[in-house]
Structure 1
Amino acid sequence: MTTRGVFIFRQLFDRSCCGYSYLIGDRTQKIGLIIDPVLEQVDRDLKLIDELGLELKYVLNTHVHADHVTGSGLIKSRLNLGNSPKVISIISESSGAEADIFVDDGDVIDCGLIKLNVTYTPGHTNGCMSLIDHTNRRVFTGDTLFIRGCGRTDFQEGSASKLYDSVHSKLFTLPDDYHVYPAHDYNGQLTSTIGEEKRLNPRLTKPRDEFIEIMKNLNLTYPKMMDVAVPKNLICGGK
C-alpha cells in the first residue's frame, strides 16, 4: 500500500450555506478528523464515519463561522459518552472561541499518519487559519481563499489588507501544484490549485491597493445567520 493509499478523504457539501466539510481518515490506525462540520449535517457525517470504520479524534474549525452553526458541539455530545472524551475540538488561539485545544501559527495537528500544519491567515476574520497537508499536497483554506475568490472582510474584525497579506505570504508561497480546498464554493466547483489561483483569481491577482478597493465596494448583504451562528460558534456550537 502506498503512503497515499492509507488515507481516506471525503469532501462533504451543505447546500444551505454552500459550505464544504472535510473528513480525513488514517486507514491503518482507523482514526480521523473532520474540518468545519455543519450542525445540520451531523447525522450524515457520523453515519459516514461509522461506515468507514473510523474513530473520530478531532473536530476542527478554521474560524468562527457566520453563515452556519458548527457541528462540533453536537458531535462531541454524541460521541463523548464516557468519562474520558475521545473527540477533541480545535480552533485557533486568536479566534476568541471555546475549544479543547487552541492552535497557533506553526503548530502541527497530529492524527496518526495525518499531519496538518497550521498557518495563521487572518483577514476574513481575525482568527482564521489554514491547514496544510504536505503529505497529500493540499491546503484547507477556510474562508481565506476561495476558488477564484476570497472571503468577505467587512465584519468580525475583518481586514482586506490582512487577507491580502495572508494569501500572498502564507498561501501563494506554497508549491503551485498544491490543491486548494475552501470552506465554500457558490458555483459548483470542488477544488483548485495554488498555481491556478495565483494566475486566475480575479481579486487576488490585483495589486494590494486595488484589492482593498474591490473589497471595500462589494456592498454585500448582512449574513442572515450571523446573529445566531457567531454567538453559538463562540461556544463550540452551543451547550
Structure 2
Amino acid sequence: MAIGDGTIGKPDEKDPTNTRHIDIPERYLIPFKEDSLMTLIHFIYDSDTLLHPTPAALCGKAIICPTNEHVEDINSMIIKIVPGTSVTYTSTDNVIPLASNQDIDLKDDYEPDIEVHSCYKVTKYIVVDNKSYNPTLKHQASLKIGKKTYFEPFSDKDIPYHFFQFASYDLDERMKPPKQLTDFIGVVEKNFETTTTTGKALRKVDLRDENNKPVQLTLWPAKRHLIGGDVKRGDIIAINSAQATQFRGKRFIIPDEGPV
C-alpha cells in the first residue's frame, strides 16, 4: 500500500524504492486501550452510517487490516452495533475451504459419492451452528449431512485442475478462540521418547516452522507409533487436523484425529 501515490515519507536507506518511513501526527493516533478498536470503528463509520448503512455510504470508508483474523474481529463488532437481524451468506466468487470430521465408517460411506478435483451442488442437508471447540473452519454455520443428502456433480471442463490437500497456518492465530484444528508442516530438530509421571510413554518431536519458530509435536500413546525413531533432524513432517496450544511460553502441536 502506498500513501499519497508513494510520494510521502522518507525513503528507507536499505530499500528506498519500496519502503518509506512515515511519521503519523499524534492527534491522529488512537491510544491503545480496551475499547480502542471500537473507537476506531466509530471514527471511520459515523453513527448514521452504522445505524442506516447503504452501499453509497460504505463504499468510501474502510479499515485496513493486516490479517483476515483482524477483519473477522472488526466485522463481528460492527454486526453487534448495526440494528436488525444478521444474515450469514456463503461466498460464490472464490474457493471455500472444505473439511470433514467423521468417524471412519461414515467417511467410507461418503467417499464413493465425492471425488477429488470435483465440484458438487449439495442438497437436502441441515444447517447447524458450528461447534465452538476446535472448529475445523472459523464459520458460524456448519452443514450436517444425512442419508438423504444428495451430491450433484458440476461439469468440470471449466474447473482448473489444481488441488491442495494440505495448508500450513499461522499457529499463533489458530490458538486464538475459538481454537480451530490446524495443519502444520515443519523441519525436525530433535526426535525423542519420554515418559509421564504416570508411566505413559510419549513421543516428542521438536520442529521449526517456515518462519524458523520452534514448536513441539506431542504424540500420546495412541498416536506414538505414527513417528518412529528413524525420523531424524532435517526431515520434514506434515501434520493434519491438529490442536495448537501454548504452555509456559512454548508452542505445542497435538494431533486430533487426522493423520501425521
Higher helix share goes to which structure?
Answer: 1
TM (normalized to structure 1)? 0.23
Question: Who wins on radius of gyration, i.e. which is larger?
Answer: 2
Greater RCO (Cα-Cα under 8 Å, separation 6 or more): 1
